[in-house]
Amino acid sequence: MMKSFKLSNILSYFILIAMSAFVIFPFLWTFLTSIKTEIQMFSVPPVWIPDPVTTQHYSDIIDEGQFQAFMKNSLTVSGVSTLISMLVSIPAAYGFAKYRYKFSGLLFATVVAIRMFPPIVMGVPFFLMMRQLGLIDTNLALIITYLPLQLTLIIWILEGFFRQIPNEIEEAAEIDGLGTFGKFLKIAVPLSMPAIGVASIFSFLAAWNEFMFALTLTRTDASQTMPIGIAGYVTTFQTFWGKMSATGILYIIPVIIFTIFAQKGMIKGLTAGATKE
């Protein structure tokens, strides 16, 4: 029994370590590449620990000036689209979960079905619409384009979570005098903070990493996002691995910060909202 228990523990730890290594290695290799010299990058056998260490690639991308523009555009588009989509989709998901009316199921299925369409199918319609509105090569074009994709994802995630909130809790809130808006704001939202945190992370990442619409709807540094900027390091005759790796490392930092703050909300939501004030 003890041997079996120890063996299962060892196996579990081994699997966890292997999975962690699989996830961490690309980030570690990207970071190491970003501090290697050009000669070290193409050495055979590969150089694992760079010596000497260089920060030239970081200096180059910052001095060129494009990095700041791409980062600003990515933060603007991802932040604004995530904020708007969360403000709209949270009450929408609550309505779908807690209130039944004629064709509500069909409407929910229609909303979720939008996620089934490959983005490339919607590329031409969005391009024609933005050109007609005169929004090509603007951040607003990307924000408008990302909203439908983010809304459907968030509604799909949160609807199931809201539906699992016991009706008895809301009925008790009604006895205390809370109306529909009060139940939503003081009961449903606090209890759903873990799901809201997850949905916000997914929504932010969907916009943060999006490439196709950014490539289609933007043309200059004034509106292009970081995925387009990173792709620009791959040219016909050369790939700038050092600059690409340095940009990738710096590009990860806002995601880490956003995830940390979202996780705080998730943890807070595990204990909030279920008790009476």
Cα–chain-centroid distance for residue 195? Answer: 14
Question: Quick check: is 246 in a domain?
Answer: no
Position 104 in a domain? yes
186 burial level (CB within 10 Å; 0-12, 13-18, 19+): middle
Q: What are the tokens at 217?
A: 């709807």
Polymer length in residues for the chain: 277
* pLDDT value of residue 275: 44
In the block, tokens 């008895």 appear at: 168
Residue ranges making up the domain that contains 216: 77-235+254-269
Rounded to whole angstroms, the Cα distance separating 45 from 178 reads 69
Q: Could you say which residues of the chain have pLDDT below 50?
A: 1, 271-277
At residue 192, the pLDDT reads 85
Cis bond before residue 45 (omega within 30° of 0): yes
Q: Tell me what pLDDT residue 265 has.
A: 63
- In a domain, residue 66? The reply is no
pLDDT of 245: 93
**How high is the pLDDT of residue 274?**
43
Per the domain annotation, does 168 fall within a domain? Answer: yes
- The number of distinct structural domains making up the chain is 1
Q: Which DSSP string corresponds to 85-130?
A: HHHHHHHHHHHHHH---TTHHHHHHHHHHGGGS-HHHHHHHHHHHH
Give the chain's radius of gyration (CA, Å): 23
Q: Is residue 102 part of a domain?
A: yes
**What pTM did the predictor assign?**
0.83
CB of 192 closer than 8 Å to CB of 146: no
What are the φ and ψ backbone dihedral angles of 17, each rounded to 5 degrees?
Answer: -65, -40
Judge whether 18 lies within some domain. Answer: no
CATH code for the domain in which residue 91 is found: 1.10.3720.10
Residue 55 belongs to a domain: no
Q: Judge whether 74 and 226 are in contact, CB under 8 Å.
A: yes
- DSSP codes joined into one string, 145-208: HHHHHHHHHHHHHHHHHHHTS-HHHHHHHHHTT--HHHHIIIIIHHHTHHHHHHHHHHHHHHHH
pLDDT of residue 269: 52
What does the alpha-carbon distance between residue 91 and residue 65 come to, in Å, rounded to a whole number? 41
Q: What is the pLDDT of residue 216?
A: 92
- 132 SS3 class: helix
State the Cα–Cα distance between residues 262 and 197, nearest whole angstrom. 5
Instruction: Please state, in angstroms and as integers, the Cα–Cα distance from residue 121 to each residue in 124, 137, 194, following that order.
Output: 7, 20, 33
Q: How confident is the model over 64-81, as pLDDT tens digits?
A: 888 999 999 999 999 999
Q: Does a structural domain hold residue 145? A: yes
